[in-house]
Structure 1
Amino acid sequence: MADWKRYTPEGTQDVLPLRCADKSKIEATIADVFESFGYHVAETPVLQFYDAFSTESGKISQEVMFKFFDAQGRILVLRPDITTCFARMMASKLDDGIYPKRLHYCGKVFRYTDEFASGQREFCQAGIELYGADGYVADAEVIACAIEALLATGLEKFQIEIGQVAFYKAIAAKAGLDDADTEELSNLIDKKDALAINGFVKEKAVEKKLASFIENLPTLFGNIEIIDSLDADLLGNDAMTAAQNLKNVYTLLCSYGYEPYISIDLSLVQGINHYTGIIFKGITHGIGYSICAGGRYDGLTGEFGASLSAVGMAIGTDRLLTVLSRQGLLEETLGADFLVSSENPTLSYQIVTALRDGGYTAEQALCGETKEALVAYAKACHIQGVITATDADTLTIYNLALDETTTVGLDELFDHDQECSCGHCHH
């Protein structure tokens, strides 16, 4: 039998300290943006009942879920999605009649196959859910929050492509397609398979002008002119109502100053059984799949007993971290401010405690007492200063960046508010 004890399962990975530090900073930055918009953090269990993901609006293919049984024989899953978990929590625990409700989260989801073919089976999402708010202003808020979160991490060159599921469904209904055909066509449009789309509309005998429009859907992306050029007589009232919603969202986001980051894409039709209105995804160069996605899903909470309007989005933080790394946008991750060494461990602990109380980060040396050993360790761990102490009155501080040494007493470390030897300002 093979010995796998030194390995992680396929599609999972250890997150090593430097990358983990970068990931933590990014997730904290994103959470700060979410909370600045008024969203409150919440959590749901990683373990969920399979039933939660077999509802009509939240249905996820059972083939992608990690399933097992509990002691009572009930089917459990590692959550493949967080939005569905929050919809369950919202309907069962938070439906108190006070709306809108704004929630945010950061957590892991698990799937046997990642829909974006990244090869991962375990990945992290940070997202928001807005409940009890209809209309385009709520839709625009969620997209604006996504844009601000991406900008806050340092990413600048990205696009949020915005579509409308209700627009597509109205066109499919106009063409006389049933639910199965509507889903099949959406898959062809998503793949931008022009030849297959042409064959499909011919097979279904779709009216000539409408068939031509459907064939052109994969090319209908750009700015507001895409909406203004639509033929209302051809498409019908339902499609034009959905198109007006999309136009309102786009126009409002432009008025917020986000025009450089948004575009319209009428071929954006993924998740038609889940989404009910606006839909969007974020893309950037350097990665072959989206870094965020979201939309309106008004039917999901009703599956759990509370019919609420809802719109949300999630950012793939692992994917975002990869993008930031490839684009050279990650700040250097530094180690502790100080490494403190003394032959008297009580004294060195007294010093690191004083430093920590003063707002610094400090390590107590455990790597040998020679200056060479201390400096070598500090350089390897990106520590910025080395303090050696013979007694409380004689602290020798070596600044690695400046290659400078100063000597002070312990009681002099915090006598004045000046820039410290680590290069940071502490008060």
Structure 2
Amino acid sequence: MTDQYWALPDGISEALPEESWRLENLRRHLLDIYATWGYQMVMPPLVEYMQSLNTGIGSNLDLQTFKVTDQLTGRTLGIRADMTPQIARIDAHKLKTEHPNRLCYIGSVLRTRAFNEDGSRSPLQVGAELFGHAGEDSDFEVLALLLTTLKQCQVPQITLDIGHVNIFRSLAAQAGLTAQQEKIFFDMLERKSLPDIDAWLAATKLPAAEAEMLRQLPRLYGKPDLLEQASLVLAAANPEVQAALAYLASLVARIQQEFPDCRIHVDLTELSGYDYHTGIVYAAYAQGSGREIARGGRYDGIGKIFGRARPATGFSTDLRVLTRYWQAQAPQPTKIFAPADTDPCLSQTIQQLRAQGQWIIRQLQGDTVKTPQDAGCGQQLIKHGNEWIITEV
């Protein structure tokens, strides 16, 4: 069997010319949008020490990270699987402003396992993070920027699945769950296994009011008006739960007002990233897609290990996924064919045209390309007297 040296590893992709131009043009388009919102672009390195990459994002990221040994120091490096910790490091250690800091990024990440629907282990991660503000305004701004991003990419019928991790976290504390019990219950919530939850609560000696609220929690999902029902069902909950419900209701109302076409699904057991999120958490879906196309939430305190524990909220998505919906075609000049001629006037003409943004394909001596059509050109340079002029093919 002949070795297939051209084959790529599973889940690793490349972009050929047409797709590359689409990706690059969408990248520029999104960065231009983010700039109008005041978000500054940063470009963190592809590899960092593992201690930095794992900060505050939970154990799952460690499993997703490819690890290599630095031949200069012998220390373990990681190839980034998520850019969020890097952006937090930049905010906390490099920029050091006391004011709100808005940062955006687009770059490749590499993961040991795929969790996108297309099986990709090398997404082009797009994201925006807002540091230094802990209120509803910053959560709303980041969510609005995400929804604007998806609308600009022409994502059809966006559904936003939103929750608040402090509802379960505070209920678990009120019920007196041990760390192990909280972990067991969290696993059942993730699976939405109602029979297991009912049986577990029946067998666990918890106060009746708290047990009932925990039993009802996985049943509290649906349209935004569900939050009114949740306030009644969780009326005996502590002030932290009530504050989280009120916060969620206020935020959802603002989203509905500014983005009336966005479908909102409230799920009080939406707990993705539970080990590091500290407030709202959400995922966005497109019509016809069973998997999320974007994710975000609040994760205050992530910069603590870098010397500054800052409030933080942000989102991320995948540029390759967004290009599936983006129908805009970037204008491309007609390619102009230049013959293999050493005339200095031709070289000067080519330089002038390229400076104007024209695409010039210059024939090479002995090249197999004999005609403009061979080079995919719709125009050509022809000598007329002492000048080289453009003519249609």
TM-score (norm 1): 0.81
Give the AA of the match of 1:290: E
Give the AA of the match of 1:386: Q
Matching of residue 361 in structure 1 with residue 359 in structure 2: yes
The verdict on how the C-alpha distance between 1:81 and 1:48 changes in structure 2, with shifts beyond 3 A counting, is same
Offset from partner CA, 1:38-79 (integer Å, 9 cap, x none)? 000112111111112444555445332211211322111101
Maintained 8 Å contact 2:285/2:291:
yes
In 2, Cα distance between equivalents of 1:154 and 1:332: 13
In 1, Cα distance between equivalents of 2:369 and 2:117: 50
Question: What is the identity percentage for the equivalent residue pairs of Structure 1 and Structure 2?
Answer: 23
The higher relative CO (CA closer than 8 Å, separation ≥ 6) is in: 2
Alignment of 1:200-239 (within 5 A): 200-207=200-207, 210-230=210-230, 231=232, 232-239=234-241
After TM superposition, give the deviation of residue 390 of structure 1 in Å: 2.5
The verdict on how the C-alpha distance between 1:394 and 1:355 changes in structure 2, with shifts beyond 3 A counting, is closer
For residue 88 of structure 1, what is the aligned residue in structure 2?
89
After TM superposition, give the deviation of residue 258 of structure 1 in Å: 4.5
For residue 269 of structure 2, what is the aligned residue in structure 1?
267
After TM superposition, give the deviation of residue 31 of structure 1 in Å: 1.3
Q: Please, which moves more after superposition, 341-350 or 167-176?
A: 341-350
Secondary structure, aligned partner of 1:235: coil
Maintained 8 Å contact 2:53/2:78:
no
Alignment of 1:142-221 (within 5 A): 142-207=142-207, 210-221=210-221
For residue 20 of structure 1, what is the aligned residue in structure 2?
20
When the two structures are aligned, how many residues end up with a matched partner? 386
In 2, Cα distance between equivalents of 1:194 and 1:131: 38
The verdict on how the C-alpha distance between 1:183 and 1:16 changes in structure 2, with shifts beyond 3 A counting, is farther
The verdict on how the C-alpha distance between 1:22 and 1:198 changes in structure 2, with shifts beyond 3 A counting, is farther
In 1, Cα distance between equivalents of 2:16 and 2:177: 50
After TM superposition, give the deviation of residue 134 of structure 1 in Å: 1.3
Maintained 8 Å contact 1:340/1:351:
no
Which of 395, 400, 405 is the equivalent residue of 2:389?
395
For residue 31 of structure 1, what is the aligned residue in structure 2?
31
Maintained 8 Å contact 2:361/2:375:
no
The verdict on how the C-alpha distance between 1:221 and 1:33 changes in structure 2, with shifts beyond 3 A counting, is farther
Maintained 8 Å contact 2:346/2:388:
no
Maintained 8 Å contact 2:110/2:122:
yes
After TM superposition, give the deviation of residue 315 of structure 1 in Å: 1.4
In 2, Cα distance between equivalents of 1:45 and 1:80: 12
Matching of residue 342 in structure 1 with residue 300 in structure 2: no
For residue 75 of structure 2, what is the aligned residue in structure 1?
74
For residue 319 of structure 2, what is the aligned residue in structure 1?
317
In 2, Cα distance between equivalents of 1:176 and 1:116: 37
After TM superposition, give the deviation of residue 237 of structure 1 in Å: 1.6
CA-based RMSD of the aligned residues comes to 2.8
The verdict on how the C-alpha distance between 1:365 and 1:195 changes in structure 2, with shifts beyond 3 A counting, is farther
Point out where structure 2 has 5 or more consecutive residues left out of the alignment: none
Point out where structure 1 has 5 or more consecutive residues left out of the alignment: 400-427
Secondary structure, aligned partner of 1:168: helix
Give the AA of the match of 1:148: T
After TM superposition, give the deviation of residue 191 of structure 1 in Å: 3.1
Give the AA of the match of 1:42: V
Maintained 8 Å contact 1:336/1:362:
no
After TM superposition, give the deviation of residue 130 of structure 1 in Å: 0.7
After TM superposition, give the deviation of residue 92 of structure 1 in Å: 1.6
TM-score (norm 2): 0.87
Which of 363, 372, 375 is the equivalent residue of 1:374?
372
Offset from partner CA, 1:109-140 (integer Å, 9 cap, x none)? 22212344643222111111111111111100
Offset from partner CA, 1:348-403 (integer Å, 9 cap, x none)? 54444333333433333456676xx423542xxxx5x312413355635227xxxx
Maintained 8 Å contact 2:91/2:101:
no
Maintained 8 Å contact 1:49/1:75:
yes
Secondary structure, aligned partner of 1:43: coil
Maintained 8 Å contact 2:156/2:287:
no
For residue 40 of structure 1, what is the aligned residue in structure 2?
40
In 1, Cα distance between equivalents of 2:208 and 2:153: 48
Maintained 8 Å contact 2:338/2:360:
no
In 2, Cα distance between equivalents of 1:341 and 1:206: 82
Maintained 8 Å contact 1:166/1:239:
yes
Maintained 8 Å contact 2:157/2:261:
no
In 2, Cα distance between equivalents of 1:187 and 1:23: 38
After TM superposition, give the deviation of residue 205 of structure 1 in Å: 4.1
Q: Please, which moves more after superposition, 24-33 or 122-131?
A: 24-33
